[in-house]
Structure 1
Amino acid sequence: MPNLRDASDLISALRDNAAEKPDEKAVFHVHDPEREDGHTALTYAELDREARRLAGPLRRRLAAGERALLQYASGTDFPVAFFGCLYAGVVPVPAPLPGSNRRERSRVKGIVRDADVRALLTCGAQLDEVAAWAEAEGLTGIPLLATDGEEVAAADADGWERPAVDRSTPALLQYTSGSTSDPKGAVITHGNLLHNVETMREAFPLPDGGRHGGWVPMHHDMGLIAHLLCGVLTGRSAVLMAPMAFLRRPHWWLRVIDRYRIGLSGAPNFAYALINDRVTDQQLTGLDLSNWRYAANGSEPINAGTLRAFAERFRPAGLRPEAAMTSYGMAEATLMVSTASFRPPLALCVRPDALERHRIVRAEPTDDRHVELVSSGPTFGLDVVIVDPSSGDRLADGEIGEIWLRGESVARGYWNNETATRGTFGATTGDGDTGYLRTGDLGTFVEGELFVTGRIKETLFLHGRNLYPQDIEHEVQRRHTEFRSLPGAAFTVPAGREGRSAEDLVITQEIRGRYSPAELTRLSTEIRQTVSREFGLPVASVALLRPGAVQRTTSGKIQRVAMRQLFLSDELRPVHLDGTPSPARPA
């Protein structure tokens, strides 16, 4: 297959596949991997035809370059809608279904407003839900189209006219996991996607018949790009399943990988922790995971213990030890930045006191404590530098600073947001090298591999020390079986009144099951003791929460800033609170 970096646009890439392999499957959607007829599928010719068919009704509603919101639960309807938008010259904006979560409903409304969306696309099964949400949010002036409805079915695919697009044309608005009040949509061009998909094909070679796929939703870049677009555009095909199917039956993910010969399937760290704990020996019986070459762990902080447990737990099912791999990416870079493909990732035990000073120093065997960091592998297809975030000065290997990126996969900016674009894109280093994307992530290089240590805005500054919240969260969960596989969030709040600059540490942690008040008090005390013993820090407040209370992105990433805001506004509704919210409030 030709190098996708040489393709003119995504339409040409898909149509080339439709011409070369019309009858081969492009997309599977699996609704029950344990039934012989448990999937629907589209060939390359069918996907091309249905995209051309949808393009007509879209063009009657939208001009070239206008935006359409895509809201789908799962299924083959989303791929048709995505490519149908491209075939019409319309820019797709993937988003979750409204659901019942107030914050998520508000966030999607914010996306609609920010992107100036001119049409809402969904399928017949979700039409009433989307219509009710749009009416409740005052969005009734925006046309709503069921892409599997009668109007589209009656459209003439043969009457399609190719839009005027090239590599510089926007192909996607990918909204990042920001606040509900200030959504930011990265403008991803045809050229960005083609470059990043080709980079992934080179980083993840697969034998003939190896596919991409998984359960990560299509409004998240890992699901959309690594699974769907990379699978379809490289000619390998994509296999999709509903996120809720995975959460209800985690072993189905493994069944789908086995039955459909998926070679690349990625997920955030929490998903691997979940299958480590919840997949039974009986569910493992008969599984063959030998085709799963790339079990990519990314999108949130990676836990070395989770990687080791995953490799060991599924070794009897044929999982290769080197399949448990790591990666780093972000929406503003289309997706992939670095990966440790087809080999065990490099892990380092480092001294926590040095980490607090933003340096990597390997721990000695005699050291009482250490922090284990996992590499995200070497970088691919991008220029990557580590700089002091204040001065832009380049830092040496082993010194932690902000990760800056430059290259053909980097987005052209944020949609209709010049202020945010100027603050994030086109940064210049202290020595005058320009054109970099500021990621907001902290990291460093060791032995040529990228180590991501945290987010600048989430770093905790306590008692003159810099600490990473995920280290505290992981230690609490590791030490207490009651919290296993359940998320928590560590953050700081202002200490006291009158604008004092000191910060108090707050630990929030989900807990499952029924506990007496005395047991909850005991657990809260043990959390305090763990943090004091392991980090030398006092904890001002501990909030134990019901499952689902910790705010997360659609990919499972902990939203610590949102949790801080909920804590300060007394909206957490804990089952147990040890310590009271600070009287200080955000301005």
Structure 2
Amino acid sequence: MHHPTNRANMAEALMDRAMLCAADEALAHPVEGGGEQRITYAALDARARAVAARLRDHDAPGRRVLIALDPGPHAAAALLGCLYAGAVAVPVPAPTASRTEAERFAAIAKDAAVDLALTETAHATETSRRLSLVGRTGITCLAVDGLRPDTATHDHDTTGATAPDPTPVRITPDSLALLAYDTGPATAPRGALITHGNLLAAMPALRRALGTGPRSRIGGWLSSHHTSGLIGQLLHPLWLGATAVPLPVQPHLADPVAWLWALARHRITETVAPDTCYARCAAEATDEQLAGLDLSRLRTALNAAEPVSAATAEAFQRRCAAAGLHPGTLVAGYAPAQAAPLLTAEGRGPVPGLDLRVVDPSNRAPQPDGVVGEIWVRGPAVGTGHWGHPRDTDTAMGGFLRTGDLGLARDGEIRMTGRTQEGHPADSLMVDGRALHPQDVERELLRCGRPLGSARVFCAGPGAGPLVVVQEVRTAGGSHAVLSRLARRIRERVAEEFGAATGAVLLVRPGTVRRAGSHKVPRATLRELYLRGEVRPLYRDLAPRRREPAAGPAALATSTESAGGVA
């Protein structure tokens, strides 16, 4: 029996692990009421092989397969089934009422030219309808929950695990495993190319950075259709022989203290979250909310996907010490969307074989230590470009991939400081650890109709941090109560459509965002005015207990206030 780390592709590594750990717990899926649905490696492997068998019936090797399922065992089986069959997985959220997600779904299906779709019975009709709207008619939609594991035509050994496929598909390290559409606006998403070799290189790197092992219980609320959640919190534990504990996303974005309790309740040992989540826990958690909380099992809490603040680490450690949080548990890391989910971790060094550089994006000159520039990366865990587009590795710099992240190098480690300015192809904001495209949010708010007009959204930090919405309203003479309801409507719409919390909502007079004609004030300009306290809103609403930037009079604002005019 080969150890999984010696296999030629991710599918063989996962099959080997399933045979070695047949009776062990692979998934602990949280269910309503606080319990868990527990799935063994043997059971998950059998489900995955049933999916793979059906995919092979449809000549799936090398073809793009859309995965549109709710998080859980069926989604895990669908992903593994694609890998087993040599297909290319294209994960998307299951269909919801979100218009922005529907646009993204359609754009991904069209851009990837998907050949098949995996979904579940509850979403099969809507998935087929959405595919037909973008010309992907006649595509087979397989309901994974309707496949019985015993339909897989493979022999089982005495442990209950399935034996390797007698006629495996030829999958090399260069074979494409995933198209990860983590970046780009809803109408023009970009699918990062992730190969089996990228995945295999990521696994030992994650083990080293997180300190994971077979007894780990790895979980968090990162979405399972985004690279970090899919690779770091599903494939990595399954490669290890550990247990994956995927937590639901929305409740923990809304209430980070509930996330702490979920970590304790499900005995999670390694997790990852953005800086804003840890900062909110430190700022918002009360003694009463933390009473009885036990975080002593937590060994590594990675702080990544956003610029990391040393003050956040200190505040989080101080606030949770009484709950048994060990010193040094919170570890800063860097994890761009286009690569394996972690490239560096504080004090633990970069991924072996990884080459990171910080360059001046205007002239591509390497920056010295301590000077901010754009982060460029290359190495075995890094994707080579995006689907359907020219390779966006920079051949003039030896095949480096541009991340669109700003950062600086110090002592051999990379620290993210923000995102590049608007106009860059990777233009996006990092909010609650995920990429959010400002044009998507602005378009959705414009759909709300009267009395809301044009909007501009940006982050309080340089491309990352709390989201700020500057929204024109046509009811300039509205009462405090009317404006308060409008601000609440904006918060709710952003949360429903994008799963993101809003740090500040500023309601302003017409002409503040959209000047004469069709000209809109650049986001960067409006952000500078905001930071200097020169945007005077009709009404300002701040998230509870969340502070505005220290620069300018905005830092002195109360949680809600009305003003008489705008700059």
Give the 3 Å change call, closer, same or farther, for CA 334–507 of structure 1 in structure 2.
Answer: closer
Q: Distance in 2 between matches of 1:469 and 1:412?
A: 22
Give the 3 Å change call, closer, same or farther, for CA 20–4 of structure 1 in structure 2.
Answer: closer
The two structures have a TM-score, normalised by structure 1, of 0.71
Deviation at 1:30, TM superposition (A): 0.9
The equivalences for 1:188-587 within 5 A come to: 188-206=194-212, 209-247=215-253, 250-276=256-282, 279-340=285-346, 381-418=353-390, 421=391, 424-429=392-397, 434-458=398-422, 489-490=458-459, 508=469, 546-550=490-494, 556=500, 576-577=508-509, 579-583=512-516, 584-585=518-519
Q: Distance in 2 between matches of 1:522 and 1:241?
A: 35
Partner of 2:144: 147
Deviation at 1:325, TM superposition (A): 2.1
Deviation at 1:77, TM superposition (A): 0.8
Match for 1:65 among 62, 65, 86? 62
Q: Tell me the secondary structure at the aligned position of residue 12 of structure 2.
A: helix
Segments of 4+ moved more than 6 angstroms:
520-523, 551-555
- State the identity as a percent: 34
Q: Which segment is superposed worse, 161-170 or 299-308? A: 299-308
Q: Distance in 2 between matches of 1:303 and 1:577?
A: 35
Residue 49 in structure 1 maps to residue 18 in structure 2: no
Q: Distance in 2 between matches of 1:378 and 1:243?
A: 28
Q: Distance in 1 between matches of 2:255 and 2:153?
A: 38
CA contact (8 A) 1:402 1:442 kept: yes
Q: CA-to-partner distance for each residue in 1:343-379, whole Å, 9 max, x for gaps? A: xxxxxxxxxxxxxxxxxxxxxxxxxxxxxxxxxx756
- Partner amino acid, structure 2, of 1:411: G
Q: Distance in 1 between matches of 2:213 and 2:192?
A: 33
Q: Distance in 1 between matches of 2:327 and 2:480?
A: 40
Q: Distance in 2 between matches of 1:304 and 1:548?
A: 31
Residue 91 in structure 1 maps to residue 88 in structure 2: yes
Q: Tell me the secondary structure at the aligned position of residue 202 of structure 1.
A: helix
Partner of 2:9: 9
Give the 3 Å change call, closer, same or farther, for CA 404–182 of structure 1 in structure 2.
Answer: same
Give the 3 Å change call, closer, same or farther, for CA 448–553 of structure 1 in structure 2.
Answer: farther
CA contact (8 A) 2:183 2:191 kept: no
Deviation at 1:3, TM superposition (A): 7.3
Deviation at 1:81, TM superposition (A): 0.3
Q: Distance in 1 between matches of 2:501 and 2:380?
A: 26
Q: Distance in 2 between matches of 1:285 and 1:224?
A: 32
Deviation at 1:580, TM superposition (A): 4.5
Q: Distance in 2 between matches of 1:328 and 1:549?
A: 30
CA contact (8 A) 1:64 1:89 kept: yes
- Partner amino acid, structure 2, of 1:11: A
Q: Tell me the secondary structure at the aligned position of residue 186 of structure 2.
A: coil
Q: Tell me the secondary structure at the aligned position of residue 383 of structure 2.
A: coil
Deviation at 1:312, TM superposition (A): 2.3
Deviation at 1:397, TM superposition (A): 0.9
Q: Distance in 1 between matches of 2:489 and 2:27?
A: 39
Deviation at 1:270, TM superposition (A): 3.4
Q: Distance in 1 between matches of 2:54 and 2:275?
A: 41
How many residues in Structure 1 have an aligned counterpart in Structure 2?
470
CA contact (8 A) 2:264 2:294 kept: yes
Gaps in structure 1 of 5+ consecutive residues:
343-376, 461-467, 471-486, 492-505, 524-542, 564-571
Partner of 2:19: 19
CA contact (8 A) 2:65 2:115 kept: yes
Q: Distance in 2 between matches of 1:93 and 1:172?
A: 6
Gaps in structure 2 of 5+ consecutive residues:
156-164, 432-455, 461-466, 523-567
Q: Distance in 2 between matches of 1:305 and 1:549?
A: 31
Deviation at 1:553, TM superposition (A): 9.6
Q: Distance in 2 between matches of 1:546 and 1:304?
A: 31
Deviation at 1:218, TM superposition (A): 0.6
Deviation at 1:259, TM superposition (A): 3.6
- Partner amino acid, structure 2, of 1:450: I
Q: Which segment is superposed worse, 160-169 or 246-255? A: 246-255
Q: Distance in 1 between matches of 2:205 and 2:99?
A: 38
CA contact (8 A) 2:358 2:374 kept: yes
Give the 3 Å change call, closer, same or farther, for CA 139–77 of structure 1 in structure 2.
Answer: same
Give the 3 Å change call, closer, same or farther, for CA 321–548 of structure 1 in structure 2.
Answer: farther
Give the 3 Å change call, closer, same or farther, for CA 272–488 of structure 1 in structure 2.
Answer: farther
Q: Distance in 2 between matches of 1:416 and 1:440?
A: 19
Q: Distance in 1 between matches of 2:499 and 2:4?
A: 27
Q: Tell me the secondary structure at the aligned position of residue 38 of structure 2.
A: strand
Deviation at 1:340, TM superposition (A): 1.6
CA contact (8 A) 2:182 2:227 kept: no
Give the 3 Å change call, closer, same or farther, for CA 207–329 of structure 1 in structure 2.
Answer: closer
The equivalences for 1:66-81 within 5 A come to: 66-81=63-78
Match for 1:39 among 36, 40, 43? 36
Q: Distance in 2 between matches of 1:556 and 1:78?
A: 23
Q: Distance in 1 between matches of 2:321 and 2:457?
A: 29
Q: Tell me the secondary structure at the aligned position of residue 390 of structure 1.
A: coil
Q: Which segment is superposed worse, 79-88 or 59-68? A: 59-68
The two structures have a TM-score, normalised by structure 2, of 0.73
Deviation at 1:41, TM superposition (A): 2.0
Q: Distance in 2 between matches of 1:268 and 1:440?
A: 18
Residue 166 in structure 1 maps to residue 172 in structure 2: yes
Q: Which segment is superposed worse, 108-117 or 246-255? A: 246-255
Q: Distance in 1 between matches of 2:315 and 2:193?
A: 38
Give the 3 Å change call, closer, same or farther, for CA 201–557 of structure 1 in structure 2.
Answer: farther
CA contact (8 A) 2:47 2:148 kept: no
CA contact (8 A) 1:4 1:198 kept: no
Q: Which segment is superposed worse, 249-258 or 315-324? A: 249-258
Q: Tell me the secondary structure at the aligned position of residue 51 of structure 1.
A: helix
Q: CA-to-partner distance for each residue in 1:298-318, whole Å, 9 max, x for gaps? A: 223334444333222222111
Q: Tell me the secondary structure at the aligned position of residue 321 of structure 1.
A: coil
Q: Distance in 2 between matches of 1:469 and 1:339?
A: 19
Give the 3 Å change call, closer, same or farther, for CA 490–426 of structure 1 in structure 2.
Answer: closer
CA contact (8 A) 2:78 2:144 kept: yes
Q: Distance in 2 between matches of 1:275 and 1:516?
A: 37
CA contact (8 A) 2:300 2:330 kept: yes
CA contact (8 A) 1:545 1:575 kept: no
Deviation at 1:231, TM superposition (A): 0.8
- Partner amino acid, structure 2, of 1:158: H
Q: CA-to-partner distance for each residue in 1:473-513, whole Å, 9 max, x for gaps? A: xxxxxxxxxxxxxx96259xxxxxxxxxxxxxx96269xxx
Q: Tell me the secondary structure at the aligned position of residue 314 of structure 1.
A: helix
